[in-house]
Amino acid sequence: MVDVLRSGRLSLGPMVPRFEEGFAHRLGARFASAVSSGTAGLHLSLRAVGVNDGDEVITSPLSFVASANVIVYERATPVFVDIDPVTLNLRPDAVAAAVTERTTALLPVHIFGYPADVAALERLGLPIVEDACEALGAIHPDGTPVGARGHPAVFGFYANKQLVTGEGGMVTMDDAAIKERIDSERNQGRAPNMDWLDHDRLGFNYRLSDVACALGVAQLEQLDELLADRAGVAALYREALRDLDPELTLPCPDAGGAVRGWFVFVVQLPRGLARDAVIRALAERGIPSKPYMPAIHLMSFYRERFGHREGEFPVCEDVAARSVALPFFPRMTEGEVGQVAAALKSVLAGSATLS
């Protein structure tokens, strides 16, 4: 980091390929391209797999809004389908049923770091862009790290992620032509071998600076510990909340060889409980928590633009209405997790009086 500052090469310098090569190597992908955010990576990836005006892209309604917005950026239509009630990821059978002649890509999201069933989606034979923004460290049931299946897979490095560069992202892929296109479009449409200020296609400024890449390189060296710290906090939560199970739905445990890359600890409250009142009661006990995540199709922009309404995706809507993200950070102690668990237990025990 200090070397970068002293070098005067704060962008378009040597730290970018160093971070990219280290990241690709760590995941077992052929290539990686550093970009200014997860959103930028998703946008460039959709363009690189050929999404155009009027196309349809099938994706999950339970995600951060960016994964649907990038489809709209290209004037394509996000086609939402319902999620699996256990993993909270896209249901491959629902995806298959939604494919039309206008479907040009699938955009599965590894929500809350749990790997989506990409192997089943691959059998549909359509281009795939994986939203792995929350899933660094996750592993598919067949042992492949998320990000190493060959399709463009996009990671995010915003300040709450497993690896952070403030803002930033990375696309991994196996196809050299996709890497070439993403590298050009992130830099205003200039190919690496072109003259200064010559541009042969439309591009963007989606570059990641050398300063940010230096932060990334340093954290890659400690990634195992960073991931283990998060998994450790999740294990403490699971133990501390064990006696509330199944009244409270905890994040699904790893199953069938899949491994979650821990990002957040989201619980689903019992049905019929006023979530906002629970969040307020937790705040009164000094515990911050958030409703997380809302269903994208029910956000006002998506209702107005695409005419979405309640009742379209019942599993997603049920989960979105009951979900609460508890405090979760890598260095949380057993005592801190215990305080959250105790507060949650006391709120749920007194839930009859909540309003």
Ligand X SMILES: Cc1ncc(COP(=O)(O)O)c(C=O)c1O
Phi and psi at residue 173, to the nearest 5°: -165, 165
Nearest distance from residue 164's CB to ligand X, in Å? 10
Strand partners, 94: none
Single out the segment in contact with ligand X by CB under 6 A; choices: 1-9, 35-43, 173-181, 336-344: 35-43
What is the residue type of 99? V
Strand partners, 324: 267, 291
Question: If you search the block for the tokens 């305080």, which residue do you land on?
Answer: 339
Nearest distance from residue 61's CB to ligand X, in Å? 12
210 lies in the binding site for ligand X (CB under 6 A): no
> Nearest-CA neighbor of 112 among 253, 220, 248?
253
Member of 152, 169, 251, 261 binding ligand X (CB under 6 A): 169
Q: Which residue is nearest to ligand X (CB)?
A: 38
- d(CA 189, CA 79) in angstroms, rounded, equals 29
Between 68 and 214, CB nearer to ligand X: 68
Member of 24, 26, 32, 39 binding ligand X (CB under 6 A): 39
Member of 38, 145, 261, 294 binding ligand X (CB under 6 A): 38
Between 169 and 294, CB nearer to ligand X: 169
User: What ranges in the chain are assigned the alpha helix state H?
Assistant: 2-7, 15-27, 38-48, 66-73, 92-98, 118-122, 176-185, 210-221, 223-240, 275-284, 300-306, 314-322, 334-349
Between 7 and 160, CB nearer to ligand X: 160
Between 49 and 278, CB nearer to ligand X: 49
In the chain, how many H helices and how many E strands? Answer: 13, 10
Sign of the CA dihedral running 299, 165, 89, 67: positive
DSSP string, 138-170: -B-TTSPBTT-SSS-EEEE-BTTSSS--BS-EE
Q: How many CB atoms lie within 10 A of CB 172?
A: 31
Binders of ligand X in range 109-148 (CB under 6 A): 109, 131, 133-134
Q: Are 323 and 292 in contact (CB under 8 A)?
A: yes
Between 128 and 240, CB nearer to ligand X: 128
Terminal CA-CA length for the chain: 51
Binders of ligand X in range 270-329 (CB under 6 A): none
Member of 9, 13, 85, 158 binding ligand X (CB under 6 A): 158
Nearest distance from residue 58's CB to ligand X, in Å? 16
35 lies in the binding site for ligand X (CB under 6 A): no
For residue 150, the Cα-to-chain-centroid distance in whole angstroms is 18
* 345 tagged catalytic: no
Single out the segment in contact with ligand X by CB under 6 A; choices: 37-45, 245-253, 254-262, 338-346: 37-45
Member of 64, 237, 262, 302 binding ligand X (CB under 6 A): 64
Q: Are 41 and 169 in contact (CB under 8 A)?
A: yes
Between 158 and 204, CB nearer to ligand X: 158
Please return the burial class of 277, using the count of CB atoms within 10 Å of its CB with bins 0-12, 13-18 and 19+: middle
Q: Which of 161, 179, 290, 345 is catalytic?
A: 161
> Nearest-CA neighbor of 41 among 182, 149, 243, 251?
182
Nearest distance from residue 9's CB to ligand X, in Å? 24
63 lies in the binding site for ligand X (CB under 6 A): yes
Between 173 and 241, CB nearer to ligand X: 173
37 lies in the binding site for ligand X (CB under 6 A): yes
89 lies in the binding site for ligand X (CB under 6 A): no
Member of 33, 59, 67, 184 binding ligand X (CB under 6 A): 67
Nearest distance from residue 277's CB to ligand X, in Å? 26
Q: Which residues sit at the interface with ligand X, rule CB under 6 A?
A: 37-39, 63-64, 66-67, 109, 131, 133-134, 156, 158, 169
Active site residues: 161
